[in-house]
Chain A
Amino acid sequence: MTTMTFSQAINAGLRQAMDDDPKVLLMGEDIGKLGGVFRITNGLQKDFGAHRVIDTPLAESAIVGTAVGLAYRGYRPVCEIQFDGFIYPGFDQIVCQVAKLHYRTGGAVKMPLTIRVPFGGGIGSPEHHSESPEAYFTHTSGLRVIAVSNPQDAYTMLRQAIACDDPVLYFEPKRRYHSKGDVDLGASLGDAPAMESAAVVRPGADATLVTYGPLVATALDAATAAQDEGISLEVIDLRSLAPVDYAPIEASLRRTGRLVITHEAGLTGGLGAEIAAQLTERCFDYLETAPVRVTGFDVPYPPSKMEKYHLPDLDRILDGVDRALGRPNSLTGLEG
């Protein structure tokens, strides 16, 4: 085991993937000499050369679109989108090309792209630098979408994403880049949990708290705080957002009967809505109460002085837990 930061773990994952397969190459803005605005690709251009760590012109549609052409040619490109809010110029290529080419060609053309997206808020950035656009992509058939929450997953799941013959959007929680954890750099991918699998990161008995990415740490803190009040929360890290691994959530719900979902993205049409619907369909007879969602508001991401109000934090999550448990909460007395 090696103790390293989240960002170092991603760097190590990229390095390992490039060592493993000469067809892996990185494309993005400022990823070369600078090492990316978050320094995720630090040192990689120096070690692998400018033909494998490519500083591109500033055009996201072209970063993704030329990666499609490289994939046609047998390459395995890893695109860095500099910030979540910059992905939209590339949206057409992702949705209309990357996601659909395998289907369109009857399986003749594979699109083993990985698109890395630093996402989420909490770092005091200006507009367009703190968004959570994952639901646009989980809604798009043909894409796999993952969100990592800790350095070990960041390392392992990035390698899995790059090795995957399907396109993968890899969402990395930028506010956790400096958090540290132990990483087993030598573990083989064959022994790792499947990229599609969710993980129970804290067992519990009273309610099931489902989340992913940056809020996993917050949810674990909330579970610790709840324990002080005698409430036992089971925390599940989705890891894969498309497809979602429902089996462990179902198993958990059959025991707890109470579901709380939290994410930074807005409420309407967010991933929480789909999870609530799926679990209601699958476990209706086991539910003691309606699923509860604790999410960002349905507003444009606010100026940074207000983001602390927008982002679900420990207290808002525990308020949601209280709703799920029928305990006094902020909505007590309200109907509908």
Chain B
Amino acid sequence: MNAYDGESLDPADWHAVEQLITADGTPVDNPELAGWVGDVTDYELADLYEDMVVIRRIDTEATALQRQGELALWPPLLGQEAAQVGSVRALRQDDFVFPSYRENGVAYCRGANVADMMAVWRGNTNSGWDPHGINVATPQIIIGAQTLHAVGYAMGITFDGTDSAAITYFGDGATSQGDVNEAMVFAASFQAPVVFFCQNNHWAISEPVGVQAHIPIAARAPGFGIPSRRVDGNDVLAVMAATRWALDRARRGGGPSYIEAVTYRMGPHTTADDPTRYRDPNELEDWAQRDPIERLGTLLETRGVLTEDRAAAVAAKADAVARELRAGVINRPDPGPLDVFANVYATPNAAVDRQRDRYARYLAGFGAGTETEGSLS
């Protein structure tokens, strides 16, 4: 086991990552880690493959829609499919996810409607799903803020006496934030059943991970009293195994765990970003050789599971989801002018009500029933 348990911090091991499938699709002999996924059949592995293919298609479609002006912005997750699928597919429905804005693959796997999900990035709404409907909090844009919410939620799980868990997703950049560090302090102090899932995708917009940390990020957690593992984030099976390890600790009253999934942001930070200004193309090429989908596809082909028929079915599923996504985006009506006032408060509020009523009077001056659009475009 390569976990950082606080006692075996051999610097020579710090840069190692745990794997179950190599970049060329070869199984790795790692009995301890493999033990957590011993029940996963090849057919279930193929389902994970399908998830990843569909998510990559969602990502590609969303990027295209942004280029076509249908979305205002999109934060690609290209290259991080295994990290997201492997972790989210380890969860139970009653577990609760506190994601950042890049976990749209996670949200898809939890059952978010893909068209609704895009409404956030089109600018129609701030929330692409009902958090209580799929047990996923709204995408958090403030870097690292959601980690505290996960810890608080997990404290509530403890108070309720259930064996659910909370998981929070964040990136390597977020690990520098005070909130993430405070979250680890609280999680350890209260032994909260929470999983810290760091996707180290090597870049925080233009800053390489070395700006944030001079040691592997997973090595920080033991200092807080939180056991950690460093896994190949492009190996969906290793990610699932590590997440199951962490969830098992949480469910058995073992408190928080920390996973660093080492992956790579193959795309820009968002569609507004230009990584050619700061990134060596050779690095991108290196990581393209470690693609999460290709390696699993190779393994499944070797084992005869990913037949031509199955591959065609996966492609058809991805196409169908993409069509649903595109149609939902393009046909989504814009919100009305008075929607701006909705849900500021849960209870009636005189100050907001007065402004809404006065704006409605102003709008009415343009003619009864006119759906006035703002002049900003």
Contact = CB atoms under 8 A, between A and B. Distances in A.
Interface of A: 25, 51, 56-57, 59, 61-62, 64-75, 77, 89, 92-93, 96-97, 100-112, 141-142, 144, 164-166, 196, 242-245
Contacts of B126: 100, 103-106
Given A61-B179, A62-B179, A105-B131, A97 B145 contact: yes
Interface of B: 96, 98, 125-127, 130-133, 137-138, 142, 145, 147-157, 159-160, 166, 178-179, 182-183, 185-186, 189, 342-347, 349-352
A136 B74 CA distance: 32
A92 B186 contact: no
Contacts of A64: 148
Chain B interface, >50% SS class: helix
Given A51-B159, A65-B151, A105-B343, 5 more contacts: A75-B156, A93-B145, A105-B138, A106-B343, A107-B342
A72 B152 contact: yes
Contacts, number: 149
Q: Which 4 A-B pairs have the closest CB atoms?
A: A69-B152, A65-B148, A66-B152, A73-B156
Nearest to A164: B347
A166 B345 CA distance: 6
A66 B151 contact: yes
B182 A61 contact: yes
Nearest to A71: B152
A68 B148 contact: yes
A93 B148 contact: yes
A66 B149 contact: yes
A96 B98 contact: no
B130 A105 contact: yes
A89 B343 CA distance: 27
25 contacts: A57-B182, A61-B178, A62-B179, A62-B186, A65-B151, A65-B152, A66-B152, A69-B149, A70-B152, A72-B131, A72-B152, A92-B142, A97-B145, A106-B125, A106-B126, A106-B127, A106-B130, A108-B127, A109-B131, A109-B138, A111-B346, A112-B346, A166-B346, A196-B350, A245-B350
Contacts of B155: 66, 69-70
Contact of A244 (B125, B342, B351): B351
Contact of B127 (A70, A72, A105, A245): A105
Nearest to A141: B344
Contact of A61 (B98, B127, B148, B153): B148
A62 B148 contact: yes
Nearest to B339: A106
Contacts of B157: 73
Given A72-B137, A106-B125, A166-B347, A59 B182 contact: yes
A109 B350 contact: no
Nearest to B126: A104
Nearest to B183: A62
Of A57, A75, A101, A105, the most chain B CB neighbours within 10 A belong to A105
